[in-house]
Amino acid sequence: MSTMLWLGANTWLFLKTFLLYSTGQQYHYLYKMLGLGLCISRASASVLNLNCSLVLLPMCRSLLTFVRGTHMVSSRETRRLLDKSKTFHVACGVSICIFSVVHVSAHLANVVNFSVSYSEDFPALNLARYRGEDPKLIILTTIPGVTGVLLVLILFLMFTSSSYCVRLSNYEIFWYTHNLFIVFYIILMVHMVGGALKYQTNLEGHPPGCLGANQSSTEQQDEGEDEERRCGEEAHFQPHYPQTWLWVSGPLCLYCAERFYRYIRSSDPVTIVTVIRHPCDVIELRMLKKHFKARPGQYIVLNCPGVSSFENHPFTLTTCPTENKETFGVHLRVVGDWTERFTQLLLPEPRIDLEILPMVQQRRYPKLYVDGPFGSPSEEVFNYDVSVCVAGGIGVTPFACVLHALLDGWTGFRLQRLYFVWVCRELKSFYWFAELLCALHHKLWQENRPDYFNLKLYVSQTDNLQSMSEEKYRPLTSRLLVGRPRWNLLFDEIGKTNKHKRVGVFCCGPKGISKTLHRLCNSARSSGTTFEFNKESFS
């Protein structure tokens, strides 16, 4: 519904502007000179104004988190719509790129027409200084031309660096080029100042198409009719008042205010309490910050000046502060330059040349800033009667916080049954949260609620496979399966057990698993069970 509304707004704005410039009397002479290039350039500009204003709103993370947490958003459908904020941001960005191509192409045709169709009758209407002026010279000597070239270059850098392969291989390039949006909007404000396109202001004194003093009708008409069609005065033209700022200023000010608020909120560094190295290159980080509150499923953004002052990376909370425990934590996998350098600062290699007794050693952690918390789809786990959480590898982190909340005895939520499926390549990965899973299992057994938490663990890599032989991990050993889940059978089993119920499916993992689960959720079930798909996404 929201997608159709957005598409409808873009279509209506394009057609409305196109018809205005093709049939509007004030643009009669300009349209006669430029033709369809005028209509297409202005129609695409209207769509660009709309999307340049909308593209900023999904990035107001604090605002979206606040709206999600208020009673204003009571329906699940509205909260699910907020989960699509990143998708909407991407859609607006793609539409900006597409209509920029249309806009530039139309204006290139306009520049050629300005040169070829130079008007001797209406000099004020011309952008060219003389007939036959080089179009490249017109572009490079006018404000709209120069700013247009700069906007195209910035947009090209932002678009190409936003591709998945660039973000995966070198996130820094994506981060730095995306921050060029500040320069982009400043130039965008200046783009219309030149007043390349002008409209007629005196339609009553000079009806479009009237005969000038030295003109006569080519058709055979009497002099009386010619006199009636004579112009009362010369046509007057003036450029449009710049309107881009009217579209952009509101969302831009809102975004800047939100960023300023986030800067103030994250200005004090956190206290790093504990750093634990887990198997398979995973680091657990426990922190402490005054007045920090978060809900299970939310994420934070870390900034470590010792690694990079300008880079910010999102990580899902694996533990939230409670009444009895003020610390919060994240698990991060050491993949990429930033996490590698950050881990080296957290856990530096011991120096062999210094012989200091362990009890005298003092570990000094780097300065670390935390922004957030921010909302995510995983917050909705507690708002279903039945929820299915599917994790792939380190994608377990959003659901670890949910399990901690159940272990800590959180109350007041709707959830009555939780299915937890965790798929890993290596057996060692399960040790990240093995103690948490066992503790929750024992707690529910003691409360006589064994059916509340349904656990399935899958290890896909069978080479050198060993079992979790420790006695304390026995509850996990009985639920450990070799191979990959058979999703069809799993969904059929859940559907038969929870007939005519609405089941929330939450996924954080590889795209292959996500696509399979999304397809299964959309397929009809004979049991009458409705599956709603919710996917965790990382920027």
Angle, helices 337-346 vs 171-178, to 10°: value is 100
CA 512 centroid distance within chain: 21
288 strand-pairing partners: 271
Give residue-wise pLDDT tens across range 362-374.
578 899 999 989 8
Helix ranges restricted to H, 266-308: none
When pLDDT is cut at 50, 70 and 90, the band that residue 478 belongs to is confident
Q: According to the model, what pLDDT value does residue 360 have? A: 42
Is the predicted pLDDT of residue 51 greater than 90, yes or no? Answer: yes
In contact, 200 and 236? CB cutoff 8 Å: yes
Burial class, 396, CB count within 10 angstroms (exposed 0-12 / middle 13-18 / buried 19+):
buried
CA 484 centroid distance within chain: 31
Give residue-wise pLDDT tens across range 186-213.
999 888 777 788 888 888 888 887 766 5
The more confidently predicted of residues 232 and 272 is 272
Give residue-wise pLDDT tens across range 106-118.
999 999 999 888 8
Residues of the chain with CATH 2.40.30.10: 269-347+365-374
The more confidently predicted of residues 320 and 225 is 320
The more confidently predicted of residues 293 and 349 is 293
Give residue-wise pLDDT tens across range 505-533.
998 888 888 899 988 888 866 677 888 88
Q: According to the model, what pLDDT value does residue 70 have? A: 63
The candidate with the shortest Cα–Cα distance to 520, out of 488, 496, 482, is: 488
Q: According to the model, what pLDDT value does residue 212 have? A: 65
Q: Does domain 269-347+365-374 have CATH number 2.40.30.10?
A: yes
Is the predicted pLDDT of residue 216 greater than 50, yes or no? Answer: no
Tell which phi-psi region holds residue 435, choosing left (phi > 0), alpha (psi between -120 and 50) or beta: alpha
Q: According to the model, what pLDDT value does residue 220 have? A: 44
Q: According to the model, what pLDDT value does residue 15 have? A: 95
CA 74 centroid distance within chain: 23
Which DSSP state fits 211? B
Residues of the chain with CATH 3.40.50.80: 377-535
The more confidently predicted of residues 356 and 87 is 87
Q: According to the model, what pLDDT value does residue 93 have? A: 93
The more confidently predicted of residues 539 and 55 is 55
Is the predicted pLDDT of residue 243 greater than 50, yes or no? Answer: yes
* Residue in this structure with the two tokens 């909302």, named with its chain if needed: 375
The lowest-confidence range among 58-62, 105-109, 117-121, 411-415 is 411-415
CATH number listed for the domain at residues 377-535: 3.40.50.80
- Its sign, for the CA torsion 264, 269, 275, 279, is positive
When pLDDT is cut at 50, 70 and 90, the band that residue 1 belongs to is low
Residues sharing a CB contact under 8 Å with residue 107, sequence separation 6 or more, in sequence order: 37, 41, 148
Q: According to the model, what pLDDT value does residue 235 have? A: 83
% of residues, the chain, pLDDT over 70: 88
Helix (H) or strand (E) holding 371: strand 369-374
Q: According to the model, what pLDDT value does residue 101 have? A: 95
> In the predicted model, what is the mean pLDDT of residues 295-301?
90
> In the predicted model, what is the mean pLDDT of residues 172-178?
85
Full-model pTM: 0.80
Type of residue found at 461:
Q
Supply the mean pLDDT for the chain: 84
Q: According to the model, what pLDDT value does residue 356 have? A: 47
Is the predicted pLDDT of residue 99 greater than 50, yes or no? Answer: yes
Distance CA 193, CA 172 (A): 34
